[in-house]
Structure 1
Amino acid sequence: MTLHPLAKKSLVIGSMFLCLGVLVGAFGAHGLKNIVSPEKLVTFETGVRYHFYHALGMILIALVQQTFQNLRLNVSYYSFFVGILLFSCNCYFYALTDIKTFAMVVPLGGLMFVLGWGALTFQALKLR
């Protein structure tokens, strides 16, 4: 079976992000409890949770793209990719460093997540 190029990319990168999410989550659960405040741990865990949601979203994009090859899901894929970097990674960095600049970038990542889901919705509405 031949995979649509975006389906393959989304499946590979989504899987890699899920693997990374497990490692980062384990680090947070086992390595940070005695290092950061409970509030910072909540921020870190929020980053992990959204990291997982959107890595799974990338797997969903791969499945949908392979099934409906005429859809254009690039916006959703790249929005989730950038959203994980801006939202989740900045949650991690803020929790670990307490540098406010990292916290200020987080909403941009959230906006990317909204854009990705909105673009996916728009493409789904095109299906007959």
Structure 2
Amino acid sequence: MSKLYLALGSALAGLGVILGAFGAHKLKEIMPESVSTFQTGVQYQMYHAFALLMVGILIERFPFRTMNWAGICFLIGIVLFSGSLYALTALKAGGKVGLGGLGIITPIGGLFFIVGWICLLLSFFKK
């Protein structure tokens, strides 16, 4: 399981660098007003990609279900939080005015981030 978290963390961090460069250069030319939203997605993706790397390293020392759940929550959070911000930016770039229920996905992803950090914390108090 640790190799999976290490691989996912590495891949998502690399993707974050690519998306960050796109946002800083190309997106700034196309839609400067959307760069902030996009960059927030990239920023949280990077934080939690590093959190996945941390879980991949720590799960050997703290092999508890809560540590595993921390990794799962970080991954779901990246998909929902960052993914929804990327989708909102793409829809706005495509001229879509009505975003439907997509905006509600972002805070749900944020809740997964919070639960992941709580699970990580709880892992350190297990015997």
TM over 0.5: yes
Q: Distance in 2 between matches of 1:31 and 1:102?
A: 24
User: 1:66 is paired with a residue of what secondary structure?
Assistant: coil
Q: In the alignment, what sits opposite 1:14? A: 9
Q: Distance in 2 between matches of 1:43 and 1:108?
A: 16
CA displacement, residues 61-97 of structure 1 (integer Å, 9 cap, x when unaligned): 01111233x3222211110111000000111111221
**1:27: Cα distance to partner?**
0.9
Query: Does the Cα contact within 8 Å between 1:7 and 1:61 map onto a contact in 2?
Result: yes
User: 1:89 is paired with a residue of what secondary structure?
Assistant: helix
Query: Does the Cα contact within 8 Å between 1:36 and 1:96 map onto a contact in 2?
Result: no
Q: Does 1:34 find its partner at 2:29?
A: yes
Q: Distance in 1 between matches of 2:2 and 2:84?
A: 27
Ranges of 4+ aligned residues in structure 1 off by more than 4 Å: none
Q: Distance in 2 between matches of 1:107 and 1:125?
A: 28
Provide structure 1 residue ranges, at least 5 long, that are not aligned to the other structure.
1-5
Mapping of residues 4-83 of structure 1, within 5 Å: 6-38=1-33, 40-68=34-62, 70-72=63-65, 73-83=67-77
Pair 1:42–1:106, CA change in 2 (3 A): same
Q: Distance in 1 between matches of 2:49 and 2:30?
A: 27
Q: Distance in 2 between matches of 1:24 and 1:101?
A: 24
Query: Does the Cα contact within 8 Å between 2:73 and 2:116 map onto a contact in 1?
Result: yes
Q: In the alignment, what sits opposite 1:115? A: 115
Provide structure 2 residue ranges, at least 5 long, that are not aligned to the other structure.
93-98
Aligned residues: 120
User: 1:125 is paired with a residue of what secondary structure?
Assistant: coil
Q: Distance in 1 between matches of 2:6 and 2:118?
A: 20
